[in-house]
Amino acid sequence: MHAYQVTKADHPAELVEIDRPEPGAGEVLIRIAACGLNFADLLMIKGSYQETPTPPFTLGMELAGVVEAVGADVDPAKIGTRVAVFSGGGGLAEYGVFRADQCVPLPDAMSFEDAAAFQIAYGTSHLALARRAQLQAGETLLVLGAAGGVGLTAVEIGKQMGATVIAVARGKDKLAVAKSAGADHLIDSETDDLREAVRALGGADVVYDPVGGPLFTEAFRACKPEARMLVIGFASGDIPSIPANHLLVKNVSLFGFYWGGYLKFNPGALTDSLATLFGWYANGALKPHVSHVLPLDQASAALELLRSRRSTGKVVVTPRKQQ
């Protein structure tokens, strides 16, 4: 089978041919139908992600497909089940072996492309906003990078939770995508003064920041007293810092958030969150935005869309035709 792998450190990822794996005890073999890309995949190629495996390893943190075979201690009735998996790797391949307890059955109406684009982006935004920031109906949510993979879901979920959403993105095309997801107010990070624009709207109760860099500082300055800032990631490549006394003076709370970390210390929080999200999807409240779908042999081009910030929402890769 084919897989897109990092074969050695400091070396570009490449499409390789490897043996198809067999499931062991507690595992399932999945015929992969779609894999969602994430900024963390780019970091893994560089070896700078906090959980980068030792090469060789297959990229692709979240995927969807069909259970093809099961190992010992797994109910054979699972064969043929449509599932999504957050695996942390292994998704950019034609087949993969994963723990059975990582598999989440898909709603009947959910396509594989939607499922592959769903877990990390929606899971991150829902758990960050609902559990960490405790966003309340009627509050103002400021979303940076609002047309990106996670930012766009924060716009959707913020509206679903009853917030007024201010979306920040670069250029009118990306802002149009954020508006279609439900944003109430739009700020162009290329031309607008973020701080003044947000303050003119009354300030922010919650800030959702997957970008970092100077926008973090501007967003902090636009916070209301007792605001909550969520540090989601650093897509800009610039990790910001802020003097602790500024937090004190403004009575602002700063929350770090890493969705995958919950697998280790509270997996039930992820399960409950995804159950809520799949219910919202089934009811038509959520609509994943996939800007590009590319085949596995174009995985490099798909990742370049993320690197160059030419995508909106999610980029999904589908395997070559199964043999």
Indicate which CATH number applies to the domain containing 32. 3.90.180.10
Q: Is the pLDDT of residue 322 over 70?
A: no
- Angle subtended by helix axes 151-160 and 172-180, to nearest 10: 30
Domain annotation covers residue 129: yes
Residue, of 263 and 225, whose pLDDT is higher? 225
With the C-alpha atoms ordered 301, 84, 142, 129, is the resulting torsion angle positive or negative?
negative
Indicate the number of domains in the chain. Answer: 2
Looking at the structure, tell me whether residues 188 and 243 fall in a common domain.
yes
Looking at the structure, tell me whether residues 134 and 234 fall in a common domain.
yes
Looking at the structure, tell me whether residues 105 and 175 fall in a common domain.
no
Q: What is the pTM of this model?
A: 0.87
pLDDT, mean of residues 256-275: 89
Looking at the structure, tell me whether residues 168 and 59 fall in a common domain.
no
pLDDT, mean of residues 210-218: 95
Looking at the structure, tell me whether residues 110 and 10 fall in a common domain.
yes
Q: Is the pLDDT of residue 224 over 90?
A: yes
Domain annotation covers residue 282: no
Looking at the structure, tell me whether residues 137 and 248 fall in a common domain.
yes
Using 50, 70 and 90 to split pLDDT, how confident is the model at 323? very low
Question: ∠ at Cα 293 (1, 36), nearest 5°?
Answer: 70
Domain annotation covers residue 279: no
In the prediction, which pLDDT does 242 show?
Answer: 87
Inter-residue contact 58 to 4 (CB < 8 Å): yes
**How large a percentage of the chain has pLDDT more than 90?**
85
User: The domain containing residue 138 runs over which residues?
Assistant: 121-259
Q: Give the tens place of pLDDT for each residue, 98-143.
A: 999 889 899 888 999 999 999 999 999 999 999 999 999 999 999 9
pLDDT, mean of residues 246-264: 92
Looking at the structure, tell me whether residues 200 and 244 fall in a common domain.
yes
Domain final position from 220, 241, 259: 259
Indicate which CATH number applies to the domain containing 237. 3.40.50.720
In the prediction, which pLDDT does 321 show?
Answer: 54
Domain annotation covers residue 255: yes
In the prediction, which pLDDT does 320 show?
Answer: 63
In the prediction, which pLDDT does 191 show?
Answer: 94
Domain annotation covers residue 250: yes
User: For the chain, what is the mean pLDDT?
Assistant: 94
Looking at the structure, tell me whether residues 112 and 125 fall in a common domain.
no
Q: Give the tens place of pLDDT for each residue, 132-185.
A: 999 999 999 999 999 999 999 999 999 999 999 999 999 999 999 999 999 999
Looking at the structure, tell me whether residues 127 and 249 fall in a common domain.
yes
**Residue 253's closest CA among 220, 226, 232?**
226
Looking at the structure, tell me whether residues 293 and 248 fall in a common domain.
no
Using 50, 70 and 90 to split pLDDT, how confident is the model at 50? confident
Looking at the structure, tell me whether residues 308 and 215 fall in a common domain.
no
Looking at the structure, tell me whether residues 136 and 224 fall in a common domain.
yes
Q: Is the pLDDT of residue 199 over 90?
A: yes
Rounded distance, CA 217 to CA 114, Å?
A: 34
Domain final position from 213, 242, 259: 259
Rounded alpha-carbon distances, angstroms, from residue 264 to 68, 74, 260, 267: 27, 22, 8, 7
Domain annotation covers residue 238: yes
Q: Is the pLDDT of residue 252 over 90?
A: yes
